[in-house]
């Protein structure tokens, strides 16, 4: 196939997918709009048993809306859903679950005060009284069967985002759903955790289950999918066998509709003065951490989720005080720095948990933008709201937040567009230290490229602590890489050191 397919070749080819097995689910002409925004338009395709279907599209293309209709969270304006050849209607998630359809959402639906086992069995208990130990044994068997490393007795509040994702997956596995929908399931998983998930997906497909896999990571799609369907601006533009797509570049072109470069140039820079210095920091999940980030460089912190990244980032960002040891930000001790921090040319934090920490979904885009920039729009006691709205309109256009109306509620945005709103806000502050925690999580390929360019450009005035589970991202952007395991920095080295770069996997596992 040509790496730059013509518009004709992008059209839906009904003969592209072999019709050997009758579909478990068939969508016929599904459409859904939110006011003037057309999220899905006249979408039709089949979901077959024993197959992994990758559903692709840029942020706001309609992927989550389409799957929410299938999962009973949204009702289509028009169109029909057929289950095993019979027309079905899902008025609620309960109807969809009863029909054997389960979905793991980007935004987790867990009870923080409960354990892993309690969350997995919530609403599924077979008896009136089930002991905690019995629940933990039952869920423990499930974790071993699918090789998902997590403690059934751990509290949700103790877990990293990657570990919480595993709990959501366990909930589906326990329900034995026949159609399993995964919305960006590896967005917060390390490569090792992602491989465990892929093995589980293949096992489930081998048992005749239908898997729908939504992802922006094209190498994952080519590695795990049997079929690929692409949405663009709410419409289905193609549905192909994965084996007929020859490369990530070709897949990216089909998804975006234009040529997309998957490489980005990074110039070398001489680092300046330290903007972050951590010395002998010890506390919950942290063990004698020493780390320096200098102006003009990107330091990537990599490791398996749950090894102290969350605790380190929260300390640097001012969300928790240091235990023992020293943390200096822009040359100032932690306590003095956070006593009266400036809104600009200071510290910007791009958190991993965009809904729980970064934004308030019931507030407008403008009010969310003002969460960390309000001082810049105040004249005495007065808030210059008109200026704020104008600035937000400019920034959401610059970062391609769709739809980008300043007065709309943030909760109406897709996960990827929420992330772009946070990035627009934090880059606007022109900070000297940027803590970027999974900054491209949930972003499509073209948006990821733009964020990478923004981060590299920010090196001109800032030092950047990049916390990422994506090794490709770390290797592409970082000047230096630090590997963390069980709260300790195992090594810290420049990316030019090829011998130490080869040992990253071993270091992440605590050896090497």
Mean of pLDDT values over 3-21: 42
Alpha-carbon distance of 470 to 216, in angstroms, equals 12
pLDDT, tens digit (0-9, with 9 covering 90-100), for 152-210: 999 998 887 678 888 988 888 888 788 999 888 876 666 667 777 888 888 888 888 89
Mean of pLDDT values over 227-234: 92
Domain edges within the chain: 1-20+50-74+90-100+177-254, 108-176, 272-341+461-512
**Least confident among 35-44, 272-281, 317-326:** 35-44
What confidence category does residue 14 fall into, taking pLDDT thresholds of 50, 70 and 90? very low
What confidence category does residue 1 fall into, taking pLDDT thresholds of 50, 70 and 90? very low
More confident residue, 439 or 176: 439
What confidence category does residue 4 fall into, taking pLDDT thresholds of 50, 70 and 90? very low
Residue 443 pLDDT more than 90?
Answer: no
pLDDT, tens digit (0-9, with 9 covering 90-100), for 471-489: 889 999 999 999 999 999 9
pLDDT of residue 490: 95
Q: Which residue is associated with the tokens 């989720």? A: 305
Residue 57 pLDDT more than 70?
Answer: yes
pLDDT, tens digit (0-9, with 9 covering 90-100), for 459-475: 999 999 999 988 889 99
Residue 278 pLDDT more than 80?
Answer: yes
pLDDT of residue 445: 81
Burial class (CB in 10 A: 0-12, 13-18, 19+), 98: exposed
pLDDT of residue 2: 36
pLDDT, tens digit (0-9, with 9 covering 90-100), for 362-408: 999 999 999 999 999 999 999 999 999 999 999 999 988 988 899 99
Long-range contacts of 193-200 (CB under 8 A, 24+ apart): 193/149, 193/162, 193/166, 193/304, 193/305, 193/469, 194/220, 196/146, 196/147, 196/148, 196/149, 197/148, 197/169, 198/223, 198/224, 199/146, 199/147, 200/146, 200/147, 200/148, 200/169, 200/173
pLDDT of residue 404: 85
What confidence category does residue 3 fall into, taking pLDDT thresholds of 50, 70 and 90? very low
Residue 9 pLDDT more than 60?
Answer: no
What confidence category does residue 261 fall into, taking pLDDT thresholds of 50, 70 and 90? low
Residue 6 pLDDT more than 50?
Answer: no
Mean of pLDDT values over 244-266: 79
To 10 degrees, the CA torsion angle through 37, 442, 456, 218?
-110
Most confident stretch, 144-148, 279-283, 441-445: 279-283
Alpha-carbon distance of 396 to 400, in angstroms, equals 6
Most confident stretch, 114-128, 145-159, 357-371, 397-411: 357-371
Query: Which CATH homologous superfamily contains domain 1-20+50-74+90-100+177-254?
Result: P-loop containing nucleotide triphosphate hydrolases (3.40.50.300)
Residue 13 pLDDT more than 50?
Answer: no
Alpha-carbon distance of 476 to 399, in angstroms, equals 21
pLDDT of residue 21: 65
For 272-341+461-512, CATH gives 3.40.50.300
Q: For residue 59, give both structure tokens.
A: 């942020």
Sign of the torsion formed by the C-alpha atoms of 496, 502, 505 and 510: negative
Mean of pLDDT values over 318-338: 95
**Least confident among 12-16, 143-147, 190-194:** 12-16
Alpha-carbon distance of 326 to 309, in angstroms, equals 17
């Amino acid at each position: 196939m040509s790496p730059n397919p013509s518009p004709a070749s992008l059209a839906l080819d009904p003969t592209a997918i072999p019709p050997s097995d009758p579909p478990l689910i068939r969508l016929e002409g599904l459409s859904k709009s939110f006011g003037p925004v057309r999220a899905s338009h006249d979408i039709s395709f089949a979901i077959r048993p024993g197959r992994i279907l990758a559903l692709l599209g840029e942020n706001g293309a309609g992927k989550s809306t389409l799957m929410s209709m299938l999962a009973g969270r949204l009702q289509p304006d028009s169109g029909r859903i057929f289950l095993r050849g019979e027309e079905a209607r899902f008025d609620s998630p309960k109807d969809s679950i009863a029909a054997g359809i389960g979905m793991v959402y980007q935004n987790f639906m867990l009870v923080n005060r409960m354990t892993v086992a309690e969350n997995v069995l919530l609403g599924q208990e077979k008896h009136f009284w089930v002991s905690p130990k019995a629940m933990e044994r039952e869920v423990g068997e499930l974790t071993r069967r699918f090789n998902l490393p997590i403690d059934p007795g751990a509290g949700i509040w103790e877990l990293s985002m990657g570990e919480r994702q595993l709990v959501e997956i366990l909930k589906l596995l326990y329900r034995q759903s026949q159609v399993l929908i995964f919305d960006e399931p590896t967005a917060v998983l390390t490569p090792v955790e992602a491989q465990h998930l892929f093995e589980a997906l293949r096992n489930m497909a081998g048992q005749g289950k239908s898997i729908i896999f939504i992802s922006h990571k094209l190498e994952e799609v080519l590695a795990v999918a049997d079929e690929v369907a692409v949405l663009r601006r709410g419409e289905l533009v193609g549905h192909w066998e994965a084996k007929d797509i020859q490369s990530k570049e070709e897949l990216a072109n089909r998804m975006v509709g234009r040529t997309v470069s998957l490489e980005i140039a990074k110039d070398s820079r001489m680092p300046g003065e330290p903007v972050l210095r951590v010395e002998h920091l010890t506390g919950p999940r942290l063990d004698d951490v020493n780390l320096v980030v200098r102006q003009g460089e990107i330091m990537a912190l990599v490791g398996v989720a749950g090894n102290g990244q969350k605790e380190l980032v929260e300390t640097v960002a001012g969300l928790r005080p240091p235990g023992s040891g020293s943390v200096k930000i822009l040359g100032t001790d932690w306590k003095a720095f956070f006593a009266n921090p400036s809104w600009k040319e200071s510290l910007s934090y791009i958190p991993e948990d965009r809904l729980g920490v970064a934004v308030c979904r019931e507030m407008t885009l403008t009010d969310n933008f003002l969460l960390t920039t309000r001082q810049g729009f105040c004249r005495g006691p007065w808030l210059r709201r008109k200026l704020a709205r104008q600035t937000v309109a400019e920034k959401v256009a610059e970062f391609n937040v769709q739809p980008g109306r300043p007065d709309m509620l943030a909760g109406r945005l897709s996960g990827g567009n929420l992330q772009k709103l946070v990035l627009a806000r934090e880059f606007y502050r022109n900070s000297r230290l940027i803590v970027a925690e999974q900054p491209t999580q949930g972003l499509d390929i073209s948006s990821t490229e733009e964020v990478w360019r923004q981060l590299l450009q920010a090196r001109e005035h800032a030092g950047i602590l990049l916390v990422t589970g994506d090794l490709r991202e770390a290797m592409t952007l970082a000047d230096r890489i630090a590997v963390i395991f069980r709260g300790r920095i195992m090594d810290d080295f420049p990316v030019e050191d090829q011998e130490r770069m080869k040992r990253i996997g071993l270091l992440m596992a605590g050896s090497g």
